[in-house]
Amino acid sequence: MLKEFKAFIMRGNVVDLAVAVIIGAAFTAIVGSLVTDIITPLLLNPIMDFLQVKDLENVAWQGVKYGKFIAAVINFVIIAFVLFIVVRTMHRIKKKKEADGTAEVPAPTQEEILLTEIRDLLKNRPL
């Protein structure tokens, strides 16, 4: 059971997923700071001054703290936009490589090599 667990953990997909989660957590902290420390003071301060609120999280109406929700929506939109830019850039790079003919052609598998050899032998066989 321990060997199976080790094999499972060492698979590439699990390690890639772990790296993605860690980078995602760090990215979330950066976006949270962007919203809290930059966007809120620059863009939302006029609204917050009008509402006479010092902190976005304290914006409430009849006890409903919708300020936290607004901050979460802003975080989501920023994260979604950055991911869109990353995916779009990766897609453009891939398209450019394919158009240039520089995209890597995968090496033939052992099965494909054997099938090619069999085909060649059959083709050269006298009838």
pLDDT in tens, the chain (127 residues): 888 877 777 776 777 788 888 988 888 888 778 877 887 678 777 877 887 777 767 677 788 877 778 778 877 888 788 778 888 998 898 888 888 776 677 888 999 999 999 999 988 887 6
CATH of the domain at 44: 1.10.1200
**CA pair distance 119, 124, nearest whole angstrom:** 9
Cα dihedral: 48, 49, 55, 56 (round 10): 0
Full residue range of the structural domain in which residue 32 is found: 2-124
Number of domain units in the chain: 1
